[in-house]
Amino acid sequence: MTTDQAGNPIDRAFDEIRRGREDHVPELALREVGELTTVFSGIARVTGVPGVGYEELLRFPGELYGIAFNIDEKEVGVVLLGEYVHLQAGNKVERTRRVMDVPVGEELIGRIVTPLGQPLDGKGPVVCRRRRPIERSAPSIMDRAPVNAPLQTGVKVIDALVPIGRGQRELILGDRQTGKTAIALDAILNQQGQGVLCIYCAIGQRASSVAKVVAKLNEKGALAHTIVVVTEGNDPAGLTYIAPYAATSIGEYFMEQGRDVLIVYDDLTQHARAYREISLLLRRPPGREAFPGDIFYVHSRLLERATHLRKDLGGGSLTALPIVETEAQNMAAYIPTNLISITDGQLYLSPDLFELGVLPAVDIGKSVSRVGDKAQLAVYRTATGRLKLEHAQFEELETFARFGTRLDEQTKLVLAHGQRIRAVLKQPESEPVSVPEQIVLLLALKHRLFDDVPLPSMKAAEAEVRKVAAQLPESVRNSFWDTAEPEEARQEEILRLCAAALENLKAPAQ
């Protein structure tokens, strides 16, 4: 082999290298890297990132992220979104040039995730093709449609007297252990087969409480139409703070696809406390009850995202059920009054009723729905009649009756009827009642068919009336969903069947 022949491959290799060098255009990767100066209690202070924007994500060592909350002339206050025990002063911190976002899509249905989209259910990673920022502007006035469709909770006292519409924001408030979460869960359970997707957002809850909720959803088969977003009590305050915003972004994705979504925030008291903790650590000036001055805006910008969209925008809805805890029945505290003024009504759960065994312990006098009446099925307006007024009269007379005063016959009748109203509106947890069953019960109650039934027999009487509802023809049961009020003849037939069913339970004539 000649030297020329041997040299050809080498020459060709050098030519390739030379051409590659000549064609190469260096690309500059612009990075802005600062330095961690202080880290404590879920808060970090960073210098050397002069271009950082408000609420921009910053990347720390160990794939830990934080949100830029305070931007001062010389340093940035950052809220950390995870465990930070490995961080040290002097660590490098890099700008990401993006805001906090969350994965969205059908893949999340039936999953239990953190606000960052990380799975907690052991079913493998969550792979979503789309992501959305957690902070988004609420739909404009012109993008909204009136609330005109009911959201049936399956809870008799709510659907009859404090109705909720799709796209409404209804606050649930009350003292500890009065059944707030139970009502929200009943509403989720009742959406099976109604085409409503549910999101349960646990904000700073005990792990044992969240486990009970998930177990109940699983047991009742409701996890198939539910997404659970969880932050536990021992999670950093930053993660607790972003949880409801992340859950709302997930819900908005489905709303914009034209679907109806129900979201439960459990609870916003913990959210407010997490934001107070962050603000005090960042040395923001405290206001009433040490909450920062913008706490109202923090909650209003969250809840204003719940709405009913116009038909040309898909006609989807996002219904919000925020929960807030009161202390010693004080509805005039700072956070409860803020949320009452932001929402479209409230369900107040009374500890006094809870202690009496009246469950759900909804105080009808203090509960209101400002827009739900317009969305309520017409048949409810016929069936309830003067029920709310009669219940109010009963509660007033019940107070006087405790003094042992002699009562006239009319007062005794009012008290007896009120006791039957209370008995019929009682309901076990996790047992939603269908619309036909509710209507038949309410019609019987309105026409005082239960008044002759002894109180100990009321449970059996209710069961008999519900059997009447189950035996009605399918066409009659479906007609309860019509917008028109039911015909008089149909009502009379239902009442005749109820009276016959209750005949054997009536007290013998004196």
Q: What is the mean pLDDT of residues 55-62?
A: 95
Instruction: State in Å, rounded, how far the first CA of the chain is from the last one.
Output: 129
Q: Which of 370, 402, 448, 477 is the catalytic position? A: 370
How many Cβ atoms sit within 10 Å of the Cβ of residue 486? 18
| Residue 3: per-residue pLDDT | 47
How far apart, in Å, are the Cα atoms of 428 and each of 298, 357, 359, 425? 35, 11, 7, 10
Tell me the CATH class for 33-99: mainly beta
**What tens digit of pLDDT does each residue of 330-346 get?**
999 999 999 999 999 99
Compute the mean pLDDT over every residue in the chain, rounded to the nearest whole number. 92
Q: What is the per-residue pLDDT for 404? A: 63
Predicted local distance difference test score (pLDDT) of residue 479: 86
Q: What is the CA radius of gyration of the chain?
A: 30
Torsion, Cα 369 370 376 380, to 10 degrees, reads: 60
Overall fold of domain 381-505: Lysin (1.20.150)
pLDDT for 1: 44
pLDDT in tens, 200-230: 999 999 999 999 999 999 999 999 999 999 9
User: Does the structure show a pLDDT above 70 at 6?
Assistant: no
- Using the predicted structure, report yes or no on whether residue 442 has a pLDDT greater than 90: yes
Q: Residue 38's pLDDT is what?
A: 95
**pLDDT digits 0-9 by tens, 226-248:** 999 999 999 999 999 999 999 99
Residue with the bigger pLDDT between 152 and 508: it is 152
CATH classification number, 103-124+131-375, choose in 3.40.50.300, 3.40.50.1980, 3.60.20.10, 3.40.50.10190: 3.40.50.300
Asked whether the predicted pLDDT for residue 2 surpasses 60, the reply is no
In the chain, domain spans: 33-99, 103-124+131-375, 381-505
Q: Confirm whether pTM is higher than 0.75.
A: yes
- pLDDT of 7 strictly over 90: no
12 flagged as catalytic: no
What local confidence, expressed as pLDDT, does residue 509 receive?
Answer: 55
User: For 269-278, what is each residue's pLDDT tens digit?
Assistant: 999 999 999 9
As a whole number of angstroms, the distance between CA 244 and CA 240 comes to 8
- Asked if pLDDT for residue 308 goes beyond 90, the answer is yes
